[in-house]
Chains A and B, each alone.
Chain A
């Protein structure tokens, strides 16, 4: 036999051998080690109960009036499936002098109940430079007719205080990337809480008009004006402490999510 024939035959035999080896079941990993395989070996053709997670800052801004400036954030994050999510919300204002004001943080379980709305329940903690308060929270969040984003939540504290918060906003597209957003947040309390400078009834409003440019869907710098107002008893507390009861501020910030 010529060298060429021997080599060809050897190569052919080697190939046949590896082909035969490939056809027999290989030594296995346990099923769970292979992504997409559930324990017990069941494989799904599609995966429609996946978990997604997102973090979103609607407000990440500097607020300026005259020489006085403060920094405010308002953000949310959720983790979960289409129906069940763990949801966190946080907002607060950092004053120029270093004190943290209006800190409200919520830890909620969110359940999709209708086409456009989720039912949310959990805990709200007011944590800032003033005494901490904890509340139970129950509310809804979603898209209302005419494309208004809406959050309406009721709270109850251990001491028998009740509260509610309404947040609404609307996106008006001036162009595909330039968007004008009016926004309002309104708080109401059943009882006064002097240590936190909060009065009974409608306590405060934070409303603004922001113009953002979406460089990317996930990154949009904006400018705008906001009005921070206090009502009734809350306004009295503010006046007594020498603080203003209604400020119009210029804002500059970033709206971002990922």
Chain B
């Protein structure tokens, strides 16, 4: 949304939208260039022909002026509203002085339309207009962003809402896009450069003499000394949660800082759909609506069996659609905390504009454990935050979810140790899809990947014919990231044949989460639901975790495959998956 407050738009009746209004029809007679010139900056663009101009845009965030990379003069970029079954034409003009691109995240397009410079096309040169043209065969919430350098950090991100052909599976009365992002007044090049010199540059939650004394009082001097020595020997810090934190970031909801109080209106008793998109570059968020439970109905654009939670952790590039039903005539705070508790984004659900509810205090900062280092699991029994309430009556296949056991590190994993690109190898990676992660207070129902069960069975019943195992590796000290100890420039593509049914096995040897995104193909996460495994485009792998997913290589092309933490991707955590 642009920084100017907008007047409340009349709510569009969905039926009328689906049929197309007369005004839109008349406008479509004019060529797209002229239409674009005539139209005022619009926060929502719909239809089948779009003109998007990538250009520098002046923004004000928290009272400070800055230049962002916007689309059609807006930050975030306009919401694109498509219809399943349409064929779209999107003319993207690059008005920057450097090459640009737009990638339609989660939307399956022919590979030349996927928007990755070097794999799909040459990129969009300054002054050039590239016309994307592709049919849409899916529905749900997705997003789009630049795939060139760090433009995604400086503002080139926006939401995509694709209306389903057959209607929605759950009813709702209001519908809002909640696009979460992180904004820095430092340039992204400076951020990477800082991290290359001092990788804990943005970590202001480190262990100090003060925390040593506190721990010694709680656990005893000997245990505390032993703990410090254990981490010190590895040259690791359990306080490494996010590489870039609120020390430089202002967290935004739809481009608005917390003080601006982005507000979504509702009438008490209405069911409100919130389309959460994590469009940030480096920030994993813990989301909740203070005082309201949320019913998760879609993940990564695909329907899931509705599951009621109090909070969820959304990693970079993921989307979750939830329905809330506020019954009281009061405001509710939309509270979005950075995982390391270094800041938060905040909005309000309210019956009238100008209302605000109390902003809760932040949850305790999580700490990494030895399980995150891949030393196996420390705890038995159920973890706080595990949501079993909605599972009653559903069969859960526990066969592939051992929960506690791990595998000994393989010989090829051990070979990685000591090399320049690797600072740790998980000796006993654990399968823990049923764990929400650290940092949630006990008693809060938090979504886990094990809770995601697709509404309909998958389309490819074949078992995989082979497995591809990849280690997620990195060297925190040097800020180098990669797969199997190698950067993109040091490795070749992953080759698949058209029609292959393959299992990807990911082992996270690092102590950071990595949201791994495969372009062009669906990743079917094996989370114990058998043929109702969820279809995802971005899968967050926890530190020291091992997980698997199935892929049908049904779309030919050269597809990008990478960690969606922008500075990890640009420093090497990227591969090509080539479907021949």
CA distance A145 to B306 in the complex (A): 48
Considering the complex, give the chain A residue whose CB is closest to the CB of B122.
A43
Contact indicator B118/A42 (Cβ below 8 Å): yes
Note all chain B residues with C-beta closer than 8 A to A114.
418-420
Do B420 and A176 touch (CB < 8 A)? no
- Quick check: A47 and B570 within 8 Å, CB to CB? yes
Q: From B247, which residue of chain A is reached at the shortest CB distance? A: A217
Provide the residues of chain B in CB contact with A143, threshold 8 Å: 235, 477
Closest Cβ of chain B: how far from A197's Cβ, in Å?
36
B570 touches A52 (CB 8 A): no
Binary CB contact string for chain B from 9 to 45 against chain A (1 if under 8 A, 0 otherwise):
0000000000000000000001111100100000000
What residues of B have a CB within 8 angstroms of the CB of A145 in the complex? 232-235
Q: Are A45 and B209 in contact (CB-based, < 8 A)?
A: no
Q: How far is the CA of A112 from the CA of B570 in the complex (A)?
A: 20
Residues of B within 8 A of A42 (CB): 118
Q: Does B168 lie at the interface of the complex (its beta carbon under 8 Å from any beta carbon of A)?
A: no
Q: What is the bound-complex CA distance between A139 and B527, given in angstroms?
A: 50
Given the interface contacts A45-B116, A115-B420, does A82 sit within 8 Å of B480 by beta carbon? Answer: yes
Q: Is the pair B574, A48 in contact by a Cβ cutoff of 8 Å?
A: yes
B478 pairs with A82, CB closer than 8 A: yes
Are A176 and B478 also in contact (CB < 8 A) when A26-B128, A82-B420 are? no
Tell me if B480 and A36 are in contact (CB < 8 A): no
Residues of A within 8 A of B33 (CB): 15, 18-19
Known: A34-B125, A115-B420, A145-B235. A176 touches B208 (CB 8 A): yes
**Interface residue stretch chosen among A167-175, A186-194, A234-242:** A167-175
Chain B contacts of A217 at CB under 8 A?
194, 198, 201
Q: Is the CB of B562 within 8 A of A19?
A: no
Are A19 and B118 in contact, CB atoms less than 8 angstroms apart? Answer: no
Fill in one digit per residue for B191-219: 1 if any A CB lies within 8 Å of its CB, else 0: 01110111001001111111000000000
B227 surroundings in chain A (CB, below 8 A): none
Chain B: minimal CB distance from A176 (Å): 5
Q: How far is the CB of B320 from chain A (nearest CB, A)?
A: 27
The docked-state distance in angstroms from the alpha carbon of A160 to that of B234 is 40
Task: Tell me if B420 and A112 are in contact (CB < 8 A).
Answer: yes
CB distance from B568 to the nearest CB of A (A): 10
- Distance to closest chain B CB from A181 (angstroms): 13
Flag A125-157 by CB within 8 Å of B: 1 or 0 each. Answer: 000000000000000000101110000000000
Kindly state the separation between the CA atoms of A42 and B99 in the bound complex, as whole angstroms: 14
Q: How far is the CA of A97 from the CA of B478 in the complex (A)?
A: 42
Q: Is A23 an interface residue (CB 8 A)?
A: yes
Interface membership of B264, Cβ < 8 A: no
B119-137 CB mask vs A (1 if < 8 Å, else 0) is 1001101111101000000
Please give the number of chain A residues whose Cβ is less than 8 angstroms from any Cβ of chain B in the complex.
46
Q: Is B117 in the interface zone, CB < 8 Å from A?
A: yes
A82-102 near B? 1/0 per residue, CB < 8 Å: 110000000000000000000
- Count: A-B pairs, CB below 8 Å: 136
CA–CA, A91 to B458, complex, Å? 66
Interface size on B, residues (CB 8 A): 64
Question: Is the pair B30, A173 in contact by a Cβ cutoff of 8 Å?
Answer: no
Q: A residues within 8 A CB of B30?
A: 12, 15
Say yes or no: is A2 at the interface (Cβ < 8 Å to chain B): no
Pairwise interchain contact B235-A173, C-beta atoms closer than 8 A: no
B422 within 8 A of A: yes
Say if the beta carbon of B430 comes within 8 Å of chain A. Answer: no
Residues of A within 8 A of B31 (CB): 12, 15-16, 19
Q: Which of B98, B192, B210 contacts A36 (CB 8 A)?
A: B98
Chain A residues near B420 (CB, 8 Å)?
A: 82-83, 112-115
Q: Look across to chain A and name the residue whose beta carbon is closest to the beta carbon of B148.
A: A36
Q: B288 in the interface, Cβ–Cβ < 8 Å?
A: no
Does A67 reach chain B (CB closer than 8 Å)? no
Bound complex: CA of A175 vs CA of B206, how far in Å? 9
In Å, the complex CA distance between A130 and B468 comes to 64
Is the C-beta of B489 less than 8 angstroms from some C-beta in chain A?
yes
* Contact in complex: A47, B419 (CB < 8 Å): no
Alpha-carbon distance between A33 and B31 when the two chains are bound, in angstroms:
33
Q: Does B359 contact A (CB under 8 A)?
A: no
Chain A neighbourhood of B477, CB < 8 A: 115-116, 143
Tell me if B208 and A173 are in contact (CB < 8 A): yes
Q: Which of A29-76 contact B (CB under 8 A)?
A: 29, 34-37, 41-50, 52, 54, 56
Chain A residues near B502 (CB, 8 Å)? none
The docked-state distance in angstroms from the alpha carbon of A47 to that of B569 is 9
Measured between beta carbons, the chain B residues less than 8 angstroms from A37 are 99, 122
User: Can you name the residue of chain A whose Cβ is closest to the Cβ of B417?
Assistant: A115
Question: Does the CB pair A23–B131 fall under 8 Å?
Answer: yes
Q: Does B487 sit at the interface, judged by CB under 8 A? A: yes
B123 contacts across to A, CB distance below 8 A: 36, 43
A248 in contact (CB, < 8 A): no
Interface 0/1 of B233-270, CB less than 8 Å to A:
11100000000000000000000000000000000000
Asked whether A173 lies within 8 Å of B206 as measured between CB atoms, the reply is yes
Contacts of B196 in A (CB 8 A): 52, 54, 82
With A36-B148, A45-B118, A54-B193 already in contact, the answer to whether A176 and B206 are too (CB < 8 A) is: yes
Q: Do A174 and B116 have beta carbons less than 8 Å apart?
A: no
B206: chain A residues at CB < 8 Å are: 173, 176
Give Cα A93 to B148, complex, Å. Answer: 47
**Binary contact readout B30-67 vs A (1 if CB under 8 angstroms, 0 otherwise):** 11111001000000000000000000000000000000
Q: Are A147 and B232 also in contact (CB < 8 A) when A19-B33, A46-B562 are?
A: yes
Near A by CB (< 8 A), chain B positions 164-196 give: 192-194, 196
- Are A46 and B210 within 8 A (Cβ)? no
A147 to B208 CA separation, bound complex (whole angstroms): 14
Further contacts, 16 of them, CB under 8 A, given A43-B123, A48-B574, A114-B419:
A15-B33, A19-B91, A22-B129, A26-B128, A37-B99, A43-B99, A43-B117, A44-B489, A47-B149, A52-B193, A113-B420, A116-B477, A146-B233, A173-B209, A175-B210, A217-B194
6 closest Cβ contacts across the A-B interface? A48-B572, A45-B118, A146-B232, A173-B208, A15-B34, A22-B129
Residues of A at the B interface (CB closer than 8 Å) are: 11-12, 15-16, 18-19, 22-23, 26, 29, 34-37, 41-50, 52, 54, 56, 82-83, 112-116, 143, 145-147, 172-177, 217, 257
A-B CB contact pairs (8 Å), 11 listed: A34-B125, A36-B117, A45-B118, A46-B574, A49-B487, A49-B489, A50-B192, A56-B197, A113-B420, A115-B423, A173-B207
